[in-house]
Amino acid sequence: MSKHFDYTALAQRFSTRFPVFSYVSIQVNFWVIANLLLGVILHLQALSISHAFNLSGPTSFTPFIMVAIILGVLYGIILGSTDYILDKRIFRKKPLGRIILLKTVISLSILILLFVLIRFILFDLLISSSPYGTVFTVTNKSWEYVFIILMIYYFFMTLVVNFINQVNKKYGPGVLLPLLLGKYRNPQEEERIFMFLDLKSSTSIAEVLGHLNYSSFIRDSFMDINQLLRQYNAAVYQYVGDEIVVTWVVNDGLKNFACIRFFFACEKQFLARKQYYIMQYGFLPHFKAGLHMGKVTAVEIGEIKRDIAYHGDTLNTAARMQSLCNEYKKKFLVSNYFFEISKMNEHFKTENMGMITLKGKKMSVGILSVEGFAD
């Protein structure tokens, strides 16, 4: 495995284990760097003015460094914590425009509070007592200009950090850096686990609910599945109609049989929300799944819409296995190859389905049905 791939796996494990800290650390690191950049710009501007008008310029950059770090940490902690709470508890079904508006209002409010902190506390403690204090006479009008500068700068920096967060949400934690470094510009071989989850009786449910309610039904089902991704080290590869494709790094998927327990955790999640689904739709979601592991190639594709695509027989096999669930009246099928590698026989009840020739494949594949946890 490449170093970038190891970095991605490490970032995903960290994000899964410490979700709140992950939110906060991204914001803190970004805003400390952003504030240091602003400090450098203002320091150089002060030096430029002092040379242009033969003034005694500032000699120390330390006060700006201290202010930048303090503000970056405070702003990052507040924004990161707020984002986590809003994303997990409030924004699940809110329209994007309302989310952006609310986050903008929150960011503006926090910025105003930080500006008050700069003007009435940090400036007196760190700036006025430094060489800058002898250079500048700060009036109320000066503070107005400083506030405008901060508003403009923080607005554009907020767009940048929101872009980073959206990339993390789309591709998963730890993928942005490999993308920037061009890891996936050329096909890269990886070994991964793939699970194809498909809604049972989707056609009949859609006929009863109608396409609008059916779409809401699928949305709620996928949201419930998404709530479990971090806990089981999983990532969504694709949504295709009423099917969701989930993937794991092999080590993460095999650890404590996370990829197997994930399926049964989804069933438990739906049962816990049974009253909601029955009252809202009259149906409880039931999914069938096929799981396989093996080598795939990952590559960045597309020009108008870029994405990371996985190709290989592993995906085809998992998809074909999932399609056999109805035929054999089973809900969860795994390959014999995965069964032998994972050594799951002591922990789960399984039924050997034998060697089966999958559609489009010449070679038969050993398949087992996972019935549940062992006693």
The per-residue pLDDT for 137 is 54
Tell me the pLDDT band of 129, cut-offs 50, 70 and 90.
Answer: low
Assess if residue 325 is contained within a domain: yes
Assess if residue 181 is contained within a domain: no
**Number of alpha carbons in the 13 Å side-chain half-sphere of residue 24:** 11
∠ CA 110-112-116 to the nearest 5 degrees?
A: 115
- Indicate if 154 and 204 belong to the same structural domain: no
- Among 47, 156, 143, which residue's Cα sits nearest to residue 104? 156
Query: Tokens representing 322?
Result: 């999932």
The per-residue pLDDT for 259 is 95
Residues 88-100: pLDDT tens digits?
666 655 665 666 6
Q: How much is the CA Rg of the chain, to the nearest whole Å?
A: 27
- Indicate if 126 and 206 belong to the same structural domain: no
The per-residue pLDDT for 233 is 86
The per-residue pLDDT for 361 is 77
Tell me the pLDDT band of 55, cut-offs 50, 70 and 90.
Answer: low
> Looking at 110-114, 124-128, 226-230, 327-331, which range is the least confident one?
124-128
CA pair distance 291, 197, nearest whole angstrom: 9
- Indicate if 172 and 193 belong to the same structural domain: no
- Among 139, 117, 156, 129, which residue's Cα sits nearest to residue 38? 156
Domain final residue pick, 154, 176, 198: 176
Assess if residue 350 is contained within a domain: yes
- Indicate if 129 and 57 belong to the same structural domain: yes
CA pair distance 237, 239, nearest whole angstrom: 7
The three-state secondary structure class of 359 is coil
- Indicate if 77 and 213 belong to the same structural domain: no
- Indicate if 169 and 243 belong to the same structural domain: no
Domain final residue pick, 176, 208, 240: 176
- Compute CA distances 145 → 152, 281, 362, whole Å: 11, 56, 73
Residues 190-234: pLDDT tens digits?
899 999 999 999 999 999 999 899 999 999 999 999 989 888 988
Residues 146-193: pLDDT tens digits?
788 888 888 888 778 777 776 776 666 666 676 677 777 788 888 999
Region 224-247: mean pLDDT is 90
Query: Tokens representing 273?
Result: 């929300």
The per-residue pLDDT for 1 is 38
- Among 251, 296, 230, 300, which residue's Cα sits nearest to residue 88? 230
Res 288 pLDDT > 50: yes
Domain final residue pick, 155, 176, 197: 176
Res 358 pLDDT > 90: no
- Indicate if 142 and 243 belong to the same structural domain: no
> Looking at 123-127, 215-219, 248-252, 330-334, which range is the least confident one?
123-127
Domain count, the chain: 2
> CATH number, domain at 267?
3.30.70.1230
Q: 184: which DSSP letter?
A: G
- Indicate if 201 and 161 belong to the same structural domain: no
CA pair distance 138, 131, nearest whole angstrom: 14
The three-state secondary structure class of 284 is coil
Bridge partners of 95?
none
The per-residue pLDDT for 362 is 77
Of the two residues 154 and 342, the one the predictor is more confident about is 342
* Segments forming the whole domain that contains residue 204: 186-373
DSSP for 243-282, please give it.
Answer: EEEEEEEHHHHHGGGHHHHHHHHHHHHHHHTHHHHHHHTS
- Indicate if 144 and 220 belong to the same structural domain: no
Assess if residue 101 is contained within a domain: yes
Q: What is the pTM of this model?
A: 0.71
> Looking at 77-81, 110-114, 170-174, 305-309, which range is the least confident one?
170-174
